[in-house]
Amino acid sequence: MCSYLIDNSILFNMKNFGNIFLTFCIILFAIFLLFFSSSNILAVQSSINLCLNSIFPSLFPFLVVSELLSYTSIINLLSAKFERIMRCFFKMPGISAFPFIIGMISGYPVGAKIISNLREKGKISAKDANLLLIFTNNAGPLFIIGSIGCSIYLNSTIGFLLLGVNILASIITGFVFTHFFKVDYRIDPSIISDESSLRFSSLGEILSDCIKKAFNTLSIVCGFIIVFSIIISMIQTSKILSIFNNQWVEYTVLGILEITTGIKLISSIPGTSLFLHLIITSFLIGTGGLSVLLQVWSIISKTDLSIKPYLYGKIFSGICAASLMFFILKVFPILQFSI
């Protein structure tokens, strides 16, 4: 009885400490907002422009389409066609082919949104959904080739190289994690399957619902981008990371917070070649950064899914992507692009 009371007391103190710590962080954040108001305003303006000119146009169509497809027979079709492949290679049910393919095409956080929808509709078990999150929520081709390759490194070939490495790292990560953890292909008996389907009579209502969900998801994504742009702005203005006295470490830390900003800063570091630039960039794309992690966490918060497998999987994926890039650049020196 005494030990039970002690355990409960420790648990209460830990929860109380967590609450106090988070309260302190929020108050500190509010104070910093006042101290760095001028730079924060510029950061917010820049992030809003990013959301309106890049994030919204690239993600909104995919979010609406993925929502609409969930009401069609495409999921059942893909499940039947890819059942053997997904089961043999990933030990996953055929339905996992849908988030895998759409997630690869569209990018963050569409993969997580699809898996969350499938779980809510009872079309996939919690265990399978947790594992799927690890390797189906990735950076999309438009972001890697367009934003990173063409806009940041001014070379589309670099974009295609980064995309290939990212896809391969995701597949390897999925293979390793689905074979390391025991997976049951069957859906939980307690799950009730969703019977709603897309018809002409219900098209207007379903399309309206899909648009609302897409806007809701985009508001979360853009909100996180704005908040993290403010955090990064305050860190840079305060020069707190100058204690490392190393640009590589400083910009990598910023990239772990928000990958687009970090990659842009890393690309600006002078050097004779892009060898180290591409390795760190591959790592950041593979992990997705803290901003994407919190976006995923917010999306799955209404389900019974856990963020821990996703966190471990993304760390592994980042290390895997960096290792693959290192190997490719060493074996094919011609790909060590000059600055």
pLDDT score of 70 more than 80: no
**To 5 degrees, how large is the angle CA 22–CA 26–CA 224?**
100
Confidence of residue 256 (pLDDT cuts 50, 70, 90): very high
pLDDT at 198 over 70: no
Angle between helices 56-69 and 203-238 (to 10 degrees): 140
pLDDT recorded at residue 15: 59
pLDDT band at 319 (very low <50, low <70, confident <90, very high): very high
List the structure tokens of 106: 């569209």
- pLDDT > 70? residue 187: no
Checking if the pLDDT of 265 tops 80, the result is: yes
For residue 338, is pLDDT > 80? no
Is the confidence at residue 51, as pLDDT, over 60? yes
Average pLDDT, the chain: 82
Tokens of 299: 């999306």
Are 290 and 258 in contact by the 8 Å Cβ rule? The answer is yes
Q: Write down the pLDDT at residue 9.
A: 54
Range 310-339 average pLDDT: 88
Give whichever of 37-46, 201-210, 283-292 has the largest mean pLDDT. 283-292
Terminal Cα-to-Cα distance of the chain (whole angstroms): 68
Between these two residues, 191 and 284, which has the higher pLDDT value? 284
pLDDT at 173 over 60: yes
Across residues 170-187, what is the average pLDDT?
75
Averaging pLDDT over each range in 26-40, 54-68, 176-190, 239-253, which range is the top one?
Answer: 239-253
Dihedral (Cα; 207, 213, 217, 223), 10-degree rounding: 110
**Of 184-193, 222-231, 275-284, 285-294, where does mean pLDDT reach its minimum?**
184-193
pLDDT greater at residue 202 or residue 332: 332
> For 90-134, how does the pLDDT look when each residue is reduced to its tens digit (9 = 90+)?
888 888 888 888 888 877 888 888 898 888 888 888 888 898 899
Rounded to whole angstroms, the Cα distance separating 115 from 128 reads 10
| Cα separation, 339 vs 336, whole angstroms | 10
Q: Residue 6: is its pLDDT beyond 70?
A: no
Give me the helix-helix angle, 203-238 and 247-257, nearest 10°: 150
Instruction: Grade residue 236 by pLDDT with cuts at 50, 70 and 90.
Output: confident
Residue 234 has pLDDT above 70, yes or no: yes
Q: What is the dihedral of CA 182, 125, 141, 276, to 10 degrees?
A: -40
The rounded percent of the chain whose pLDDT value lies above 70 is: 88
pLDDT on residue 166: 94
Q: Which of 207, 211, 187 is nearest to 199 (CA)?
A: 207
| More confident site: 259 or 17 | 259
Nearest to 139 by CA among 268, 339, 295, 247: 295
